[in-house]
Amino acid sequence: MDKTEIPADRTSWGSFGELRKKTDEDMLTILDDAIKNKDYKVGSDQEKAVNFYESIMNTEARDKQGLEPLKPYLAKIDAIKTKSDVEKYINEMANNGGGNEFFGFGVFNDMKDSKMNAGYLSAGGLGLSRDYYVDEDKDTKEKRQKYEEFVATLFKVLGDNEATAKKNAKLVLEFETSLAKPRMTKEESRDARKQYNPMTLAELQKLVPAINWNEHLKAIGIDKIDKIIVTDPNYFKAMNKIFKSRSVADMKTLFRWETINSSAGLLTTDLEKKNWDFYAKTLQGAKEQRPLNERALATVNGAIGEALGQLYVAKKFPPEAKKKAQEMIANVRLGFKKRIAELTWMSEETKKKAIEKLNKLMVKIAYPDKWKDYSKLTIKSVKDGGSYFENSVNIAKWAHHENIAKLGKPVDRTEWGMSPQTVNAYFNPVNNEIVFPAA
């Protein structure tokens, strides 16, 4: 350990870091080969992965485009006049897969009925995590000041003069702090029971009357819902007061900030660098930005990992390797079952239930038997008019509608939470499954 150095473009390092580096090198070679040899079918998922990767890599096109992609969104914000307009804007953005700092709706496994999917309503994401707004130690206060300066910098990118940018940055920090304080602490959020608060639509409307929830749900594609699981009712009580009391002008300033902050990494290289300088360098202590191709690969992996995974599996993990791994895990399961049967301290009834759970344990090896369906997703190449920003927006829309379509339906246990090229593994207690990706 004394001789191990953390690479300048990383904030931590270990054996998993080494493995990820090797897998990334393999993936970049596979991508480069696919690009050179057109080693994929037109319209295929693999082509979409390649198109997305190339749109990120084409910094010349990104720099030439500048802030042009943001203009329609900024115009929508500028047109807001009333609180009703505010809600319409939030609804439209949410239906396009865009978030807001007030709240967010998503569909996940019902924690009390793991076979079914349910709708969850949670606090929206802020520019920082909660502790940065509320803690008063020296380091946090310094980073909070740096954040305010970063916010002002991005407002200047949008065209605000120095004084206006500083004033708007101060307002954003104060606004976000008011939204951060009533949220659960890290410790509270670890208690899953506190986050499970099922309500009817009428009960939610009573809890948060400032928002027309029926209109919001309809706008994001939900016509009927019997139960909404509210993860933090105390936050929503406070949010209701904040939403009612804040001026439309304040909200428009917040929306301008959300727009530039969420898009900074998708636009020009200068904006991407400004974003990295704060979020990676200042907050996390990174010394150097990772090479563009590695950043592009990480983005594609995170957004459409299984599309890229099909290329990886074809080159690096043949069906025979998967079969061998499955046989090995089957032997481990058999050995574990035998050990349970031989335990002297466990009652027969407990042994029976343990073996029953073991038999029901779903083990996923290497890659899915059924790949994710990307057929409804449009990702254009740069030569066909696509861009990093536009492709990212399309992915967000697609992901939102894919998620909403699961509401009220049984959980698809064939779905994977990691792509094959991920160097990791996980146990999902809700689904009673253990997953070992190919990498």
Q: Are residues 201 and 109 in the same domain?
A: yes
With respect to residue 28, please indicate whether it lies within any of the assigned structural domains.
yes
CATH number, residue 161: 1.10.1380.10
What is the residue range of 143's domain? Answer: 68-266
With respect to residue 243, please indicate whether it lies within any of the assigned structural domains.
yes
pLDDT at 316: 86
Going by DSSP bridges, is the β-strand pair 228-230/113-123 parallel, antiparallel, or unpaired? parallel
Q: Are residues 370 and 344 in the same domain?
A: no
Q: Are residues 428 and 308 in the same domain?
A: yes
Q: 71: helix, coil or strand?
A: helix
Q: Six-digit token pair at 87?
A: 């809600």
Task: Using 70 as the pLDDT threshold, list the residues of the chain that sit under it.
Answer: 1-5, 8-16
Q: Are residues 372 and 426 in the same domain?
A: yes
Q: Are residues 377 and 415 in the same domain?
A: yes
Q: What is the number of domains present in the chain? A: 3
pLDDT at 21: 86
Q: Are residues 351 and 423 in the same domain?
A: no
DSSP 326-349: HHHHHHHHHHHHHHHHH-SSS-HH
Q: Are residues 38 and 93 in the same domain?
A: no
With respect to residue 286, please indicate whether it lies within any of the assigned structural domains.
no
pLDDT at 10: 61
With respect to residue 284, please indicate whether it lies within any of the assigned structural domains.
no
With respect to residue 275, please indicate whether it lies within any of the assigned structural domains.
no
Q: Are residues 376 and 304 in the same domain?
A: yes
The C-alpha atoms of residue 221 and residue 401 are separated, in whole angstroms, by 8
Handedness of CA 312, 316, 322, 327 (dihedral sign): negative
With respect to residue 254, please indicate whether it lies within any of the assigned structural domains.
yes
- pLDDT tens-digit readout, 196-213: 999 999 999 999 999 999
With respect to residue 283, please indicate whether it lies within any of the assigned structural domains.
no
pLDDT at 15: 64
Q: Are residues 72 and 124 in the same domain?
A: yes
Crossing angle (nearest 10°) for helices 162-180 and 233-245: 140
Angle ∠(189,232,230) on CA atoms, nearest 5: 120
With respect to residue 153, please indicate whether it lies within any of the assigned structural domains.
yes
Q: Are residues 105 and 175 in the same domain?
A: yes
Contact 180, 134 (CB under 8 A): yes
State how far the alpha carbon of 314 is from the alpha carbons of 274, 293, 305, in Å: 38, 21, 14
Q: Are residues 160 and 242 in the same domain?
A: yes
pLDDT at 2: 60
Q: Are residues 99 and 25 in the same domain?
A: no
